[in-house]
């Protein structure tokens, strides 16, 4: 197949993109557990929402399960970056499982806020997506106090105990703009609604959205590398469409790109979600280069230097040379 290659064809690559500190830590936790204790290491749910990462870890000896009851008694189980509810910790303890908790510290922060506000008898409006693992984990911290607000449509229907003792929290991977709008509408309905002490939408989600806005303003097409179940990746597609891109698609890897998407396009934007390894972006850039998009420019919007230490259970065994 031959492709037209006008000199004007270019690619703008957003920075920051790809792995965040929480994903890096969670993936390393499984890798280190496999090195330290040997296969199999069980992982409850996808360690991060990326099919390539999951398949790679499976090849190395990780076994992914949906629930702890599928893990043999006494085995090692890693909890994913999205966090788990206290009930899951209890079940694991009852079954004598050795747990490694790879919950992102920024998700743990939201859990702590939920517990604190619940202990002060606040109702908590949790803005997030129903059924998402992170939302289930956070809601499980204070089931009697948390009311889920899934999108703007839920603002008018959510019921609360006391409108004067109300706080909102959110999932860490939402659209910043959409969440701001949801909070504005909630405050119109509940004027005494209070804000959380700090942003729940994490630095990585925010930074990737800032970066995609910058490239979307100049690109007709924005390709977001990420899996369909990755919340932060899906938000990047929405943000790109809201900020100037004519089209935007979420792809697991280069093989999902359709040539017709490139018809008449001179500038393609590329970014990736927080759970996406960089080699998948490299594959997309190589695929585009073969189609005449060889002029690649990286557009840096924000510098990132956040890193998290490995889960304490692993650090202890690594120090002890287990
Ligand atoms: S996206 Fe944010 S909250 Fe989720 S793992 Fe990464 S840093 Fe943590």
DSSP state of 215: H
Q: What is the pTM of this model?
A: 0.94
Work out the pLDDT band at 319, boundaries 50, 70, 90.
confident
Q: Is the pLDDT of residue 174 over 90?
A: yes
> Does the pLDDT of residue 318 top 90, yes or no?
no
Read off the pLDDT of residues 23-59 as tens digits, 9 standing for 90 and up.
Answer: 999 999 999 999 999 999 999 999 999 999 999 999 9
Taking 50 as the threshold, does the pLDDT of residue 299 lie above it?
yes
Given a cut of 80, is residue 2 above it in pLDDT? no
* Ligand 1 centroid distance, CA of 26 (Å): 10
- 201, pLDDT greater than 50: yes
* 293 and 308 Cβ atoms separated by less than 8 Å: no
Residue 280 contacts residue 71 (beta carbons within 8 Å): no
Q: What is the pLDDT of residue 4?
A: 47
Let me know if domain 10-19+203-300 sits in CATH 3.40.1010.20. yes
pLDDT at 137: 98
| CATH T-level assignment (fold) for domain 106-189 | Cobalt-precorrin-4 Transmethylase; domain 1 (3.40.1010)
What pLDDT score was predicted for residue 104? 98
Residues of the chain with CATH 3.40.50.11270: 21-104
Confidence (pLDDT) at 7: 56
CA 238 to ligand 1 center in whole angstroms: 19
20 lines ligand 1 (CB under 6 A): yes
Range(s) within the chain of domains with CATH label 3.40.1010.20: 10-19+203-300, 106-189
- Read off the pLDDT of residues 255-282 as tens digits, 9 standing for 90 and up: 999 999 999 999 999 999 999 999 999 9
Mean pLDDT along residues 156-184 = 97
Q: What does the pLDDT read at residue 274?
A: 97
pLDDT at residue 115, rounded to an integer: 98
What percent of the chain lies above the pLDDT cut of 90?
95
Contact by Cβ (8 Å): 296, 13: yes
Intra-chain end-to-end CA distance of the chain, in Å: 55
Peptide bond into 40 cis (omega under 30): yes
On whether the CB atoms of residues 31 and 54 are closer than 8 A, the answer is: no
Question: pLDDT value at position 91?
Answer: 96
Q: Whose CA is nearest to atom 7 of ligand 1?
A: 22
Residue pLDDT, tens place only, 66-77: 999 999 999 999
The pLDDT assigned to 1 comes to 46
Closest by CA position to 82, among listed 114, 106, 55, 117: 106
Residue 126, classed as helix, strand or coil, is: strand
Q: Is 275 annotated as a binding residue?
A: yes
DSSP 8-state code for residue 164: T
Q: Judge residue 69's burial from the number of C-beta atoms within 10 Å of its C-beta, 0-12 exposed, 13-18 middle, 19 or more buried.
A: exposed
- Cβ neighbours, 10 Å, residue 125: 24
Atom from ligand 1 closest to the CA of residue 306: 7
To the question of domain 21-104 being in CATH 3.40.50.11270, the answer is yes
Provide the annotated active-site residues: 134
pLDDT in tens, 77-110: 999 999 999 999 999 999 999 999 999 999 999 9
169 C-beta closer than 6 A to ligand 1: no
């Amino acid at each position: 197949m031959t492709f037209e290659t006008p000199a004007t064809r270019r690619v703008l690559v957003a920075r920051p993109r790809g792995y965040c500190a929480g994903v890096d830590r969670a993936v390393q936790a499984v890798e280190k557990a496999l090195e330290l204790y040997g296969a199999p290491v069980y992982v409850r749910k996808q360690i991060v929402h990326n099919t390539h990462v999951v398949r790679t870890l499976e090849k190395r000896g990780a076994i992914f399960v949906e629930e702890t009851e599928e893990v043999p008694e006494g085995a090692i189980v890693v909890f994913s970056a999205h966090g788990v509810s206290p009930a899951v910790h209890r079940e694991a303890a009852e079954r004598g499982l050795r747990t490694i908790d790879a919950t992102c510290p920024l998700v743990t922060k939201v859990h702590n806020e939920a517990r604190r506000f619940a202990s002060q008898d606040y109702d908590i409006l949790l803005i997030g997506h129903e059924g998402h693992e992170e939302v289930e984990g956070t809601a499980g911290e204070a089931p009697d106090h948390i009311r889920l607000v899934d999108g703007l449509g839920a603002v008018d229907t959510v019921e609360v105990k006391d409108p004067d003792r109300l706080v909102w929290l959110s999932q860490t991977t939402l659209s910043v703009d959409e969440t701001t709008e949801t909070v504005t509408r909630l405050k119109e309905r509940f004027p005494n609604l209070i804000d959380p002490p700090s942003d729940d939408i994490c630095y990585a989600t925010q930074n990737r959205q800032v970066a995609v806005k910058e490239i979307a303003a100049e690109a007709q097409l924005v390709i977001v590398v990420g899996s369909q179940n990755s919340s932060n990746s899906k938000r990047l597609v929405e943000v790109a469409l809201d900020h100037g891109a004519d089209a935007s698609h979420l792809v697991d890897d280069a093989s999902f790109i359709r040539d017709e998407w490139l018809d008449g396009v001179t500038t393609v934007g590329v970014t990736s979600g927080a759970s996406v390894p960089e080699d998948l972006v490299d594959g997309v850039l190589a695929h585009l280069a073969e189609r005449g998009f060889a002029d690649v420019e990286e557009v840096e919007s924000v510098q990132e230097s956040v890193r998290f230490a490995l889960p304490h259970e692993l650090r202890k065994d690594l120090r002890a040379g287990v």
